[in-house]
Amino acid sequence: MRHIFAVISAAAVLLRFAGTGVSGTLYWDTDGSAAGDNASTGANLGGSGAWNTAAANWWSSGAVALQAWGDGSDAIFWGTAGAVSASAVSPDSLTFKSTGYSIDSGPITMIGTPSNFTVDSNVTATINATISGTNTMWKLGAGTLILANTNNLNNATTNGGGWRIEGGGTLQISADTSLGAALPDTARNTVTDISFNQSTIQAGTSLVISQNRRTKINTNVSTNAGDAIIDVHGYVVTWYGSLQGGPGSLRVRSSDNPGGMLILGTDKIASINPWGSTLAAGTVNLTIQDGSIVQTSGTVTPTGGELGSETNTSGAALAILLDNGQIRSESGGYAFMRNLMLGAGGGSLDTGAWDQTFLGAISGSGSLTKWGTGNLILDNTSAGWTGGTFIHSGTLVLGRNGSNGMLPGTIANPYSISIDAGATFKFSRGSNKSFFDIFSGAGGVVVANSPTAKVRLVSDSTYTGPTTIGSGILMIGQGNPGEPGSIASPMVNNSGELDFNRVEDLTYAGAISGPGILTKQAAGKLTLSGTNSYTGFTGVNAGSLIVAGILGNSAVFVTNGILGGNGLIQGPVTILPSGTLSPGTSIGALTISNSLTLSGTTAIELNVAANTNDLVRGLTSVAYGGTLTLSNLAGTFTAPSGFKLFSANSYTGRFATLTPTNPASGLGWNTNTLSTDGTLRILSIAPVSISNAISGNNLTLSWPADHTGWRLQSKTNFISGSNWADVPNSAITNQVTIILNPGTASAFYRLVYP
């Protein structure tokens, strides 16, 4: 503003009243009269008309008549808004106090130092005229100024030029040239030509900001708070210029028109000085909202990049807030150290074809959404977001083989992780961790932990894509009563270890393949009803493993639990001293097309009334040992009778113990034929006499059939003594023929049991 002090005559005053332009603060008024004009309320001001140095369309506060424009004045547009047709005028500043004004034609040459454009709160003004000027342009006030034309403004050099936007308002532009000339190449990395101070640049259409623009993100100079805002307004704004260091934070939004994109292109400039580094730890220095997308193709480093500083000057992490906003990557290798906050509208991360890593804590009430074919790696230190997780494409990787990589679910509040078809959730941790989140959708889950690191899934997950264990351990459940643990995935490709550790009963109907191992933990019953082809061993350490389908090519070791079922096991089975084999489910047949070694407990159910019993069949060999426990469900044992318990090509060994000791009073177990045909028979243990018959040189000794299983023993010379020897094969028959030789000594025979 220029002030003129002079002694003037009455004639001069009369000239002013007659319309001669005098500089100062002038109010736009086109009604031809100063009557009722009010500089405090805007009454009787405004209208449409010509703005030039001839038309008396201006009023100076206190004057009794209107006057013409005087260059160097401060122009105030108030009262009734209208269309202002400007021509070759040179104001110091423009102020808009009523909404709806448009400044047309032109040119307008701004000569103030600086040249201010002030737009009051809730006011929108449009300048269609061309603006010229050599000094810094200031957009002030909380209202909106629309620059709709190409403007002839000097670039920001050390002598002035450029734009400063302050006061909480908005500057809308339709092109990069709305801001005037960009910086020369020699100055684009050293001179600031746009400075945000708690205000907004808004796109009026899709546009490109020159790579020679250098923008500084500041805060309000009075409050030292507030965001600098880029409002894409539903359009695509390509910002090739740099967003430079400053104490402020940046908000990207899309007012009125949800969506839109801000494309950052700092790969086209020489240097990056990230903003927000002086903020306190945990402060948000980047907010993306209103469905807008920020696409980045530069780099991100611990000290920042085109998305701002990752840490403050003390090295503490800052934060990114996504509230219905997205970060899209157009190059890889990112490692965000900032904390990620998810507003109620949620946030999405589009990796493109690249890897993008977040190292900070993740929190907020919104959801996290993954897009892009690349990897989104969450190596986060804590997880507190509650809106769920959605993986639409690519892979979300949890962890980097360390102790980080967290999900928000708890046993009381399990959150949802939805995986679309073709997408993947991947665990890549280096330590044991329980996860309570519920995985759903048609996508798959991968475990790629360090070799001994466990992923414990303590939820009933419903995802229907494949499960892959590349390394490490996937544990279903964590062995606590009442807690969930199940998967619906139709296939598990296991190259590591798959543990079922649920106390309650569980059925898995999918197909398990690969070279990895499977273990059964906890007290519950696990039923495998699918066709499984994995080749690692199967360990039953607790509870029951029921094979209802096929268990192919896996050696089975029962250490402390129970093995049962009516299915097929194609690998060798070993029942260790504390293990149990209980074929069938109730009474049934378990097929083992390999060897069976028994040294624990073999539990067999019989139904004498129905003449049925458990059976282990298809064996190449069986080696008896341990304890044979028999349970009769119905009926009464009689002798002679028998129950085929094992069907094998060869039989070796003996059971050390049978329970019960005898099937009934007066009856005993004939275990001899277990070694010949796998049949356990019932015999009478009542004393009996041996019948004899001689025919020629043959002596036939016989006894009742219900005593088959007793052993015929012989002794020569004297009946007394202990040198009785079993007659070979006498325990499996009730008749033996002996060839008499008159030259031999005397021989004695007896029957014994057991």
Identify the domain boundary among 635, 658, 686.
Answer: 686
* Lowest-confidence segment of 167-181, 289-303, 443-457 by average pLDDT: 289-303
Residue 147 lies in a domain: no
Please indicate whether residue 188 or residue 57 has the higher confidence score (pLDDT).
57
Query: Are residues 700 and 572 located together in one domain of the fold?
Result: no
Pairing status of strand 467-471 against strand 444-448: parallel
Give the residue from 381, 378, 347, 342 showing the smallest Cα distance to 363: 342
| pLDDT confidence tier of residue 1, bands split at 50, 70 and 90 | very low
Query: Are residues 650 and 717 located together in one domain of the fold?
Result: no
Cβ contact 31:58 at 8 Å: no
Give the mean pLDDT of 179-192: 80
Predicted model pTM: 0.85
Residue 245 predicted with pLDDT over 80: no
* Cα separations in angstroms, 226 against 248, 249, 286, 492: 7, 7, 12, 51
Cβ contact 201:171 at 8 Å: yes
Q: Which residues pair with 110 in a beta bridge?
A: 133
Residue 240 predicted with pLDDT over 90: no
Give the range of the structural domain holding residue 476, as residue numbers without chain letter.
332-499
* Lowest-confidence segment of 283-292, 343-352, 557-566, 597-606 by average pLDDT: 283-292
* Cα separations in angstroms, 656 against 15, 321, 583, 730: 132, 71, 19, 21
* Type and span of the H or E element at 569: strand 568-569
Query: Are residues 466 and 515 located together in one domain of the fold?
Result: no
458-483 per-position pLDDT tens digit: 999 999 999 999 999 999 999 999 99
* Type and span of the H or E element at 10: helix 10-17
The number of distinct structural domains making up the chain is 3
Instruction: Give the CB-side neighbour count of residue 165, counting CA atoms within 13 A.
Output: 30
Please indicate whether residue 240 or residue 20 has the higher confidence score (pLDDT).
240
Query: Are residues 564 and 668 located together in one domain of the fold?
Result: yes
Q: Which amino acid is at 9?
A: S
Cβ contact 579:597 at 8 Å: no
What is the predicted pLDDT for the residue at 740? Answer: 87
* Lowest-confidence segment of 216-230, 247-261, 707-721 by average pLDDT: 216-230
Query: Are residues 537 and 606 located together in one domain of the fold?
Result: yes
Residue 625 lies in a domain: yes
Query: Are residues 358 and 487 located together in one domain of the fold?
Result: yes
Residue 161 lies in a domain: no
Residue 2 predicted with pLDDT over 50: no
Query: Are residues 612 and 713 located together in one domain of the fold?
Result: no
- 671-682 burial code (b ≥16 CB/10 A, e <16): bbbbbeebbbbb
Query: Are residues 634 and 586 located together in one domain of the fold?
Result: yes
Identify the domain boundary among 631, 653, 686.
Answer: 686
As to burial, measured by CB atoms within 10 angstroms (0-12 exposed, 13-18 middle, 19+ buried), residue 198 is buried
Residue 241 lies in a domain: no
What is the predicted pLDDT for the residue at 273? Answer: 56
Query: Are residues 552 and 674 located together in one domain of the fold?
Result: yes
Residue 196 lies in a domain: no
What is the predicted pLDDT for the residue at 746? Answer: 82
What is the predicted pLDDT for the residue at 718? Answer: 77
Residue 296 lies in a domain: no
* Lowest-confidence segment of 58-62, 148-152, 486-490, 719-723 by average pLDDT: 719-723
Cα–Cα distance between 79 and 47 in angstroms, integer? Answer: 8
Residue 669 predicted with pLDDT over 90: yes
Cβ contact 320:338 at 8 Å: yes
Identify the domain boundary among 499, 527, 544.
Answer: 499
Upstream peptide bond of 490 is cis (omega within 30 degrees of 0): no
What is the predicted pLDDT for the residue at 269? Answer: 42
Cα–Cα distance between 450 and 471 in angstroms, integer? Answer: 6
209-228 per-position pLDDT tens digit: 888 888 888 765 444 456 78
Provide DSSP, 510-555.
Answer: SEEESS-EEEE-SSSEEEE-SEE---S-EEE-SSEEEE-SEE-S--
Q: Which amino acid is at 272?
A: I
Q: What percent of the chain has pLDDT over 70?
A: 92
* Lowest-confidence segment of 247-251, 518-522, 687-691 by average pLDDT: 247-251
Q: Which amino acid is at 316?
A: A
Please indicate whether residue 297 or residue 585 has the higher confidence score (pLDDT).
585
Give the mean pLDDT of 625-643: 97
* Cα separations in angstroms, 655 against 515, 594, 601: 34, 20, 9
Average pLDDT score over the chain: 90
355-395 per-position pLDDT tens digit: 999 999 999 999 999 999 999 999 999 999 999 999 999 99
Upstream peptide bond of 114 is cis (omega within 30 degrees of 0): yes
| pLDDT confidence tier of residue 157, bands split at 50, 70 and 90 | low
Residue 270 predicted with pLDDT over 50: no
Query: Are residues 647 and 578 located together in one domain of the fold?
Result: yes
What is the predicted pLDDT for the residue at 55? Answer: 97
What would the two tokens of residue 88 be? Answer: 């070759």
Give the residue from 702, 625, 708 showing the smallest Cα distance to 673: 708
Query: Are residues 646 and 707 located together in one domain of the fold?
Result: no
Residue 18 lies in a domain: no
Cβ contact 543:521 at 8 Å: yes
What would the two tokens of residue 446 be? Answer: 């991968």
Query: Are residues 512 and 493 located together in one domain of the fold?
Result: no
Give the mean pLDDT of 317-328: 93
Residue 211 lies in a domain: no
